[in-house]
Amino acid sequence: MQVVVRKFQSGQCRLLLLLATVVGFQLAVLAEQLPLKRYSTSDGLIRDYISRIVLDSHGFLWFCTPEGLSRFDGYIFTNYGAEAGLPGSVRDLLPARDGTYWIATEYGLYRFDAEGQPAPASICIGWIKGKEVGASRL
């Protein structure tokens, strides 16, 4: 058995390397083009300005906004604002191990239950203009 080794000329090697690089870049660009969807208030988001986005263990995306909190399940938004017991701008959200959510607003700290519903005022801690408006029973 005879093994034939063919030596490429310098120009052929460069052309082959250039071709492999171009094809590699094209594949990389195609692989990185993810489908993006822009959501706004017309899609159900409580407000277009978002200060923080949190992903919880259930797969919900929570959007903290100046008007309240929006929960996105991949299809629809569920909004929680002043009418749901969250006064003021929502600054942050922290999912707890027990399934509740701690929500920081400009007026204080609030707790939601596992269903994402506001907890009764007796188990919220809130301050409005320096005055405590709720007490914790934790």
Q: Is the dihedral of CA 66, 72, 76, 80 positive or negative?
A: negative
- Count of other CB atoms within 10 angstroms of residue 105: 21
Residue 21 pLDDT level (bands cut at 50, 70, 90) = confident
Question: DSSP string spanning 56-96?
Answer: -TTS-EEEEETTEEEEE-SS-EEEE-GGGT--S-EEEEEE-
Residue 138 pLDDT level (bands cut at 50, 70, 90) = very low
Q: What integer is the mean pLDDT of 8-35? A: 70
Domain boundaries, the chain: 41-132
The string of pLDDT tens digits covering residues 89-137 is 999 999 988 888 888 888 888 888 756 555 544 345 554 444 444 444 4
The string of pLDDT tens digits covering residues 54-78 is 999 889 999 999 999 999 999 999 9
The string of pLDDT tens digits covering residues 22-39 is 777 676 666 667 788 899
**What is residue 124's predicted lDDT score, i.e. its pLDDT?**
53
Q: Flag whether pLDDT at 3 surpasses 90.
A: no
Is the pTM of the predicted complex or chain greater than 0.85? Answer: no
CATH class, 41-132 region: mainly beta
Q: Between 86 and 50, whose confidence is greater?
A: 50
Closest CA to 112 of 67, 66, 68: 68
